[in-house]
Amino acid sequence: MKQFNLTFLAAMLTVSSVAQQKITVDPDIHYQTMEFFGAADAWSCDFVGKYWSDDAKELIADYLFSQEYDASGNPEGIGLSIWRVNLGAGTLEQPGADIYPYQRRAESYMTVDGKLYDWGKCAGHEYFMQAAKDRGCNQFILFSNSPLVQYTLNGKGYAPTDNAANLREDCYDDYADYLVDVTEHLMDKGFNIPYISPINEPQGDWNTPRQEGSPWRNGEIFRMTKALDEALGRSSRFDDVRIFIGEANRLKMLYTQRPKMFARFDSDSLECPGKQLYFFFDKNSPYYVADLKHMDMEFTAHPYHDHFTSADLREVHRLAAQEIRKYGIDYHSSEWCLLPTSKQYEGITADWCKGNHADIQAALMMARIIHSDFVDADAVSWCYWKGMELRGDHALVSLHATDGDIHKGGYPSANKMLWTLGNYSRFIRPGYVRIALDGADDLDTLAATAFVSPEGDRVVVVFVNSSFEEKPVELSMPKGWKKKVTAVTSYRTDARHDLARTVTGEGTSHVIGARGVTTIVFDL
């Protein structure tokens, strides 16, 4: 990573003629406690772990999990605190498999005939689990996009219809047992598995071979959750494993039903997978699951496609928050990337090339969503979608395969998405608490969030400046806290800098650069 540009530094330190934006941080006013930041290993991770060179794999692992600094004080990686591991449906080995792109076909631990387990499989996934653990990240979410092909209605990893689970009636218990067996296998290897997420985006149609996936009706989600809870109950070693329910494909599914989905689900409001907080956490619902041993008051959702303006983004988050607070739920924002759309997102300029996931434009969009997830919906965690992918497709790390063949190895490169997420994940560690911040809450210009460590010895402020102008700010804290400050360090990601240690000012006066994300760390 390059050192901060000296010309830009000089400009920032001579801003006395520009009015400063007053920002107040109060570490005595607490909001939600942060649990983790993460990303998913789907889909290319298994191939990279098996076929790429050690040097390439180690660099990827450093990008994602390292908490070290280089000689200049720049972070070597973004220090993810959880890693989402894909438990594939077994389409990779399936004769006649037709999922495309190829790397979206996933391995499973089941033998092709469905009779035995082969614990030597999925070695690429386990390689990166160990690499994460070696770098201080020993928390893993096991998630599944589709039941095993040996258990599906059509013998494929995608569904025959767009309105029901692709799981045979006699295989709910079998599939639950498989998920727990894999959990036990990974625990035996020393991996900490706090969560299993058996269902992904039940609102999706998932009836085409674009990836592994299955739609689910509310009653089917309820049945699968009960089966998994019962399977986890077979041993006390799983007492601390929780079921992640939800993975809703948009936040609106927490509090409303979509008319378009009614047609797909035969206009059955009971089975249509919307209003999901009511269906799973209201005691009057026939699908209430909050009393299950391995269920906590937690729900996962993906903030996709419900917003194209900043106003829409905040309205959806705030409406979701009303429902979240109504039921006392902890909301986990468990997946996001800049999915293709025919519309243009506000805050992304017209000259942006669609499909460019390596630049600061998409990264700023992500940062605005993170801000709203925390401030408007009280999210307790945040996870990106793909940690790595060929050509950087919706990924934190781009994979450049030799001759375009993922089996031949290649080299990685880091995208702006990676470093921008690092402005949060590297410094806001598990147990940090979001605290009050006033004076910067405009997604179109300058928005900021602040956090304090559990020990009270560090305050972290993250600024998202989506405007094309630098923003001089004056930060203030209550007198008792201000006297405790012993050091101030800044890190910046923009078009020219990758989570680079910078100088933004001194004391309480700082300049937040344009079109980028800046983290200021106050050691106390």
Q: Residue 21 is inside which H or E element, if any?
A: strand 21-33
Average pLDDT rounded to a whole number, residues 223-237: 98
How far, in Å, CA of 185 to CA of 34, rounded?
29
In degrees, rounded to 5, the angle at the alpha carbon of residue 5 between the alpha carbons of residues 516 and 62 is 65
Average pLDDT rounded to a whole number, residues 462-479: 97
pLDDT at 17: 55
Handedness of CA 134, 140, 146, 151 (dihedral sign): positive
| Tens digits of residue pLDDT in 19-38 | 999 999 999 999 999 999 99
* Banded pLDDT at 195 (limits 50, 70, 90): very high
> In angstroms, what CA-CA distances link 176 with 8, 16, 170, 199, 356?
56, 63, 12, 11, 39
pLDDT at 197: 98
pLDDT at 8: 42
pLDDT at 483: 81
pLDDT at 24: 98
| Tens digits of residue pLDDT in 264-275 | 888 778 999 999
pLDDT, mean over the chain: 94
- Candidates 3.40.50.1000, 2.60.40.420, 3.40.30.10, 2.60.40.1180; CATH matching 6-30+438-523: 2.60.40.1180
* CATH 2.60.40.1180 domain range(s) in the chain: 6-30+438-523
* CATH 3.20.20.80 domain range(s) in the chain: 35-427
How far, in Å, CA of 197 to CA of 195, rounded?
7
Topology of domain 35-427, per CATH?
TIM Barrel (3.20.20)
